[in-house]
Structure formats: structure tokens, C-alpha cells
């Protein structure tokens, strides 16, 4: 099976594109507008870019009527956005924040999660999340779509503060994935969470290179 997206119809009943790029971490992003309205929304097109300094990106498709997402507008106008790690325990709350709520609705309240103050960013973070990144907005790149809904804002930010709850750390100072059960997006309406990991160093990697790959300072 093969086909050319945008030129040929998909021969399958469901597009395999997103289902092949898996798993994708959940970019559960909190922002605040310039007039003080908080927003919380999930994005499955989220990723880290580099580590020195730590930078991240998320991609937000606009609405089919051409409106841009509140998260993007808030980040551009205030200069900040916050990533909140989503785990299995928070999956239902995250899913509620995916609803296209009317302007002025507080997604924190709808999802039943608690606002915690940030240190640098002006908006709140999700208190129940096991980890957070406070991100200073850097830039937006808009990419043209074949439809109004296909247009996408790719937003870049620098992580200026990292929060990790002590109770999700192992004695040696690593994240305890078994305790966290991080949530990730796969295809269709499907998600996954994982608790099993395995260690596999690159053969021959030594010194600073090996330490860097493992995340040592």
C-alpha cells in the first residue's frame, strides 16, 4: 500500500500518518492572556529540540474557520508558556481540556485540576503534574496548509525553569517512569502510557559524549 497525500485518496479507512509517528509526548500547555484569562490545552505535536540551552517546540493547527489557538496567541502576547507533564492519572483531565470551550471558560476548572504559581512565567501550572517546564517564547513559524484547518503555527521556546516533584525521583536522581506512567499519543483516538523501560548505551560511547546522552550535567 502506498499513496501520495494531497494528490491521491488514502486507500485505508483511516489515515496512517499520525499512527506511524508514535508515540508522541503530550504537550499539555498552560498560558495566560494579556488580560489575565488562563488557558490549558493539550498538543500532541510537542518535542524538545536541544539541550544547551534547553529548547522546545509545539505545533498548533488553527481552527477550520481560520482562528488561531489561544495557546499560540497567549504565548506571543505575554512571552511565556508552560508545559505540564501528563501521566495516566491525569488522562481524563487532559482530555477535558481538549474540548473547544468558548472564550472565557477556564479549562483548569472544567478539568478539576489545581493552579500552582510559576516562578518566572506569569501564568499558572497544573499542580498535580509530576513535572513542568516554564518556557520563554522565542518565535512562531506559520506553515501554509491545503485547507484552513491545515495551517499550523510552530512555536519555539526556551526552557528557563524545570520543576520535578521529589516523589517521582529515584534514589539516584532519575525520573521514576514506573511511578509516573507518562502519557503519549498514538494514532486515531488511541493513547498509551508506559512504565517499562530498558537501558541501551551506544557501543563505544565514553566520556563527555556518554555522560551527555545520559543527561549528566
20-23 long-range CB contacts below 8 Å, 24 or more apart?
Answer: 20/187, 22/184, 22/185, 22/186, 22/187, 22/192, 23/184, 23/185, 23/186, 23/192, 23/194
pLDDT-derived band at 64 (thresholds 50, 70, 90) equals: confident
SS3 state at 137:
strand
In the chain, pLDDT over 90 holds for what percent of residues? Answer: 85
Query: Which three cell numbers mark 190?
Result: 488511541
Q: How far apart are CA 4 and CA 42, in angstroms?
A: 29
The sheet that has 80-84: what strands, in order across it? 38-43, 27-32, 80-84, 131-143, 152-164, 54-61, 46-51
Residue 115 makes CB contacts below 8 A (sequence gap 6+) with 38, 108, 124, 125, 126, 127
Where are the strands (E) in 11-114, listed by range?
A: 24-25, 27-32, 38-43, 46-51, 54-61, 80-84
126 or 197, which is more confident: 126
Q: How far apart are CA 123 and CA 117, in angstroms?
A: 7
Cα dihedral sign, 46-50-54-55: negative
Residues making up the chain, counted from first to last: 217
**Residue 120 neighbours by CB under 8 Å, 6+ apart:** 80, 134, 136, 160, 161
On the question of pLDDT at 186 being above 90, the answer is yes
- Grid coordinates representing 155 are 512555536
**Residue 120 C-beta-side C-alpha neighbours within 13 Å:** 16
The span from the CA of 23 to the CA of 157, in Å, is: 22
Could you report the per-residue pLDDT of 96-136, keeping only the tens digit for each?
A: 999 999 888 999 999 999 999 999 999 999 999 999 999 99
Could you tell me the pLDDT band of residue 46, with boundaries at 50, 70 and 90?
very high
Residue 58's nearest CA partner among 15, 25, 97 is 25
Q: pLDDT tens across 125-153, in order?
A: 999 999 999 999 999 999 999 998 899 99
- Which class is domain 24-214? mainly beta
Helix (H) or strand (E) segment spanning residue 134: strand 131-143
pLDDT at 90: 98
pTM for the structure as a whole: 0.94
Q: What is the mean pLDDT of residues 17-31?
A: 95
Q: Measured between alpha carbons, how far is 66 from 168 in angstroms, rounded to an integer?
A: 41
Amino acid at each position: 500500500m502506498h499513496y501520495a497525500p494531497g494528490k491521491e485518496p488514502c486507500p485505508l479507512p483511516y489515515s496512517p500518518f499520525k499512527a506511524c509517528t508514535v508515540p508522541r509526548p503530550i504537550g499539555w500547555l498552560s498560558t495566560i492572556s494579556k488580560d489575565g484569562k488562563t488557558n490549558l490545552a493539550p498538543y500532541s505535536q510537542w518535542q524538545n529540540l536541544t539541550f544547551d540551552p534547553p529548547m522546545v517546540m509545539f505545533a498548533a493547527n488553527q481552527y477550520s474557520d481560520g482562528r488561531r489557538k489561544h495557546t499560540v496567541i497567549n504565548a506571543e502576547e505575554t512571552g511565556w508558556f508552560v508545559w505540564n507533564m501528563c501521566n495516566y492519572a491525569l488522562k481524563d483531565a487532559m482530555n477535558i481540556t481538549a474540548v473547544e470551550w468558548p472564550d472565557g471558560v477556564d479549562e483548569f476548572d472544567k478539568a478539576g485540576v489545581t493552579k500552582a504559581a510559576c516562578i518566572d512565567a506569569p501564568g499558572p501550572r497544573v499542580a498535580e503534574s509530576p513535572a513542568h517546564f516554564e518556557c520563554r517564547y522565542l518565535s512562531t513559524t506559520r506553515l501554509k496548509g491545503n485547507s484552513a484547518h491545515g495551517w499550523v503555527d510552530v512555536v519555539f521556546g526556551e526552557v528557563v525553569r524545570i520543576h520535578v516533584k521529589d516523589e517521582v525521583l529515584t534514589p539516584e536522581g532519575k525520573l521514576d517512569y514506573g511511578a509516573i506512567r507518562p502519557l503519549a499519543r498514538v494514532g486515531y483516538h488511541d493513547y498509551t502510557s508506559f512504565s517499562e523501560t530498558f537501558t541501551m548505551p551506544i557501543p563505544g560511547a565514553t566520556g563527555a559524549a556518554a555522560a551527555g546522552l545520559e543527561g549528566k550535567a
